[in-house]
Amino acid sequence: MKTIQTLFVLALLLLSATTVSAQYGYGNGYGNGYGNNGYGRNGGMGMNQMNQTREQSAPKEIPIEVTVSKIMEQLKPELNLDALQEIAVSNVLTESIKTQTALLKSKSSQEELMKEFEALSENTDRKVNAFLSEEQKAKYKAFKEDNKNPKKSKKKK
């Protein structure tokens, strides 16, 4: 009977301690009074909202590997790439995307950026074409043209 009473008292103490802790500073017991600034939970809400807007304003960057894999998913069946070509082309695309990212972060004018992107595009195409056969080169050129001018959806037939 004494052990049951002891367990009951310990459980009661444990529950009351967590309730007190939860009321004092968002549940971890390390607040500055009630809430962040002593004025209850509303005092900290402004800071939380400010942090959320700051996080939303800076979009997450998509990893380069994800972008390259999506491109390769389209290119591989279109060009009938073998494993070696797939690796080589994906390495060229990875390098190109890294350079594009660096160019976007630079403080160049719009005109300079356009020239640099055009040169980068030509350089990337030249490197990719070095790994392709004549038939694949023609398909690659057609693939690029299709991506430049995306067709409208074919709902009406």
Cβ-Cβ contacts under 8 Å for 56 (sequence gap 6 or more)? none
pLDDT tens digits in sequence order for the chain, 157 residues long: 777 777 666 665 556 655 555 555 555 545 555 555 555 555 555 555 555 555 556 567 788 888 889 989 999 998 899 999 999 999 999 999 999 988 888 888 889 889 999 999 999 999 999 999 999 999 999 988 888 876 655 544 4
How many helices (H) and strands (E) are present in the chain, helices listed first?
6, 0
Joined together, the tokens standing for residue 47 give: 């800071």
Residue-level pLDDT at 33: 52
Q: How far apart are CA 12 and CA 87, in angstroms?
A: 64
pLDDT value for 157: 42
Can you give the pLDDT at residue 9?
Answer: 65
Token pair belonging to 103: 């160019």
* Cα 103 to the center of its chain, rounded Å: 19
Neighbours of 79 (CB within 10 A): 23
Q: Is the dihedral of CA 47, 49, 52, 57 positive or negative?
A: negative
* pLDDT in the model for residue 61: 76
pLDDT at 156: 47
Three state DSSP letters for 99-136: HHHHHHHCCCCHHHHHHHHHHHHHHHHHHHHHCCCHHH
Q: Distances from the Cα of 75 to the Cαs of 85, 136, 141, in angstroms?
A: 11, 10, 11
- Domain borders along the chain are 2-57, 64-148
pLDDT confidence of residue 46:
53
